[in-house]
Each structure stands twice: as structure tokens, then as C-alpha cells.
Structure 1
Amino acid sequence: MSRPRLAPRFRLTVDGEAVAFLTAAGLDIGHDIVECDDGMGHVFPMPAQNHPVDVSLRHGAVPRSAAFRGWLNAFLLDRIDRRNVAISLTSESGAQPLVTWHLVDAFPVRLSAPGLVAGADPVEVEQLDLRADRLTVDLH
């Protein structure tokens, strides 16, 4: 008996084009903490520099779209092409976003693909790792 195929519920949007993925990990916001002394014997922990954001998207299907493939091709040619992108968790139907994470100055750092089939459309992506400078969250 075969297991039911899960529907991708994460959407990576790059330049207005959406790409569906099954899972997303690393959507974390963090800061270094420094201790500030007020000179009166009190020490206060304060947030400092943001941690970089490392996101992994798995099990996606890349359509034949110029903008997204151009962004990946820049990575393959060892060029860093930073873009503001969004990752949305959608409802089960995929029609409505529930939460959207906005990645500022994101760029690909790793791309892996499963075994490929000639002429397959869309091209499958096993894992796409992104690095971003900052992350913000919108609850819908």
C-alpha cells in the first residue's frame, strides 16, 4: 500500500515567481547578547548583532521561469546575487498564506537535485539552502 503524497505547502517567492517546497527549516531569528555595565555596578544583557539566517528548503519543483532560474544560474557561476525573497506557509489548499517570512539580501549557498529524468518539467530540487542577512515575519 503506497503512502499518500504530501502537498507542498511552502512557497518561495523570488521576483514575483513562486516555487513550491514540501519543507522549510532554519526560519530562526537570533541575536548575540552582550553585557553592558552602567558604571554603577549593574550589568544588563542587551541584544547585539543579528545572527545570519540559514534556511533549507526541501523537495521542491522548479518551473521553467526566467527569474528563478536566473537567480540559481548566478549561484552556479559563483556570483552572489542577493535578493529579498519571501517564504510562505500556505493553507492545505495552497490558496492562502498563513505565515510569511521575509528574507533580506538572501542568496543560494547549496543546491542538490535527485536523479534527473530527461525532459521532465518541472525540474525537481532535493534541497536548496539560502543565507540571508535578516528575517522578518508576517502573520496573516
Structure 2
Amino acid sequence: MSIATPRLALIAERLKMQAPSLLDVGLAADLAAAGDAVPRSPAAYVLPTGGTFSSDKVTGLIRQLETISFAVLIGFSNAGRDGARGIAEHEEVRDEVLDALMGFKPAGAQSAIQAKRQQLTAFDGKVQRLWWNITFTFDHMHRKETA
């Protein structure tokens, strides 16, 4: 049996389906590609933030539980685009993201997603942009047979 960690793309797909206020949903590569461009508002990006492992080895089988951590970075802008939900609505959109992910169990995971922390990451009054970060976790059991 090989290692197969649940993909963060599953989280992004869940947000696309369950958080209709988000005009754009992407992964880390999408955020990097956007550069300094102002995203459509609101936009969300699912970013890997790490994981912690616990050990549990049985003869002939390695089992390690990993608590996988990821962040959803939500960008809001008051750039005046049609249909945009600006900074004033950030709490409503944040709650929609929490509702979409809390309790959702990605395929291959051992546990459902839990919210761990949320915070303002950046606010730029000059360009009227706010970034809100919510950190989530879920557990995944890695199993591998040894020779």
C-alpha cells in the first residue's frame, strides 16, 4: 500500500460548490500567478500550511496519523466591480466558508475538518484590499507495509 494523502484540490472544489459568494477559488499556484493583481472580490485560495505526525509502527506495517493543516486565504476588495462583495461583507463570506468546510470529511481523511484559527492577515487601505486567513485541520492515517 502506498502513501495517498487527501488533496487540497478537494477543499477548493468543496468551496466552489458550497460557498457561492466566492467569485474565484484557487490553490497556492493560482495565488502566485495572480501576483499583485487585485482579485475579484471575494476570492479564496486554499494553501498548505503543514502537518504533524504521530508514530505507531507495527511489525510489517507503518501507520502514522498526520494532522494536516491548511489555510483558506480570503481576499476582499472595494475596487467597485459589479457584483463584488467588498470589505464590509467580509464577515458574511467568512461565515459561508466556515459553514462549507467545518464538519466536511475529505475523501481518504480519518476525521472531519475543524477550524483552528482565524485572523486578519493584511489590510491595505491604499488599494482597499483585505486578506482574511482561516486555518483548518483534519487527520489522515498513512499506512505502508514494510519489507
TM-score (norm 1): 0.41
Larger radius of gyration: 1
- Higher helix proportion, which one? 2
Q: Normalized per residue, which structure has more strand?
A: 1
What is the TM-score with the length of structure 2 in the denominator?
Answer: 0.39
